[in-house]
Structure 1
Amino acid sequence: MKNTLFLRIFLFCLFTSIGTLKAQNTTNKSEKVENILEKKRNYNKSNGFGYNIQIYYGNETTAKSKNAKFKILYPRVNTKLVYNNPEWKVQVGNYKTKLEADRANLLFKKEFSGTIVIPMEKQ
């Protein structure tokens, strides 16, 4: 008796969840959604997307020193030196969301003071 009741409840839940998945799939195929996604893709291509963490902004010598120190401490994290006349920036990481960047920034702040999360610059 318990097994048949359990089986009925299980089958009921299974069939209702399949119906919900079908409804979601047909909803996501609407033309408006596709247009919005295409606009977002084009925006990302032209403007870039994601976040970096800037660990230094200042003169060239210190920037190169901070960059080298960072590479030693975190060898798996991407780094780049950016020159905006007359200052140098050391930017690290490639994060898709600000939340990911904020979490990594908490780790980097232990070694580098004044770090900030910034939107990724177009390259």
Structure 2
Amino acid sequence: MKNFIILFIFLAFGLLTTTESNAQNNTNASESVRKLIAKKRAFNKQFGYGYRIQLYYGNETKARSTQSKFNVLFPGNYTKLDYNQPYWKVLVGNYKTKLEADKAMMNFSEKFSGLIVIPLGK
């Protein structure tokens, strides 16, 4: 009798686990969910995803000196020089949301002026 109860408990536990894992696998099986995911991926591919802060826009020598000054004042932050003929841009950071970029811009605005937040991909 004791073995029967133990066998029943294991069998019931096995059935419950199988049912739950099946339910989780069917989440993305819905056609509407797949279409929504495809739309989001297409949007991100076209318009980019995230934000950066533009520190400077102008000639190359001033852009390189601005980047160097920023790296000294705020080490550990990602910086990028971008060339869009005939001007150079100094871009900072990789932020997921505009709010994150705005918060970081507040810190940088103490040392730099004329900062703007730019969406990636544009």
TM-score by length of 1: 0.71
Residue in structure 2 matched with residue 115 of structure 1 by the alignment: 115
1:11-33 CA-partner distances (Å, limit 9, x unpaired):
xxxxxxxxxxxxxx8xx754323
Consecutive unaligned residues in structure 2, runs of 5 or more = 1-23
**CA-based RMSD:** 1.9
Off by >4 Å, runs of 4+ in structure 1 = none
Offset from partner CA, 1:21-71 (integer Å, 9 cap, x none): xxxx8xx75432331122111331343210000000011111000000111
Superposed, which structure 2 residues align to 1:16-95 within 5 Å? 29=28, 30-95=30-95
Residue in structure 2 matched with residue 98 of structure 1 by the alignment: 98
**Equivalent pair of 2:46/2:121 in contact (CA under 8 Å):** no
Counterpart Cα distance in 1 of 2:77 and 2:85: 25
Distance 1:121 1:80 in 2: 14
Report the identity percentage: 57
Listed as ranges, the gaps of 5+ residues in structure 1 are 1-24
Higher CA-based Rg = 2
- Letter aligned with residue 32 of structure 2: K
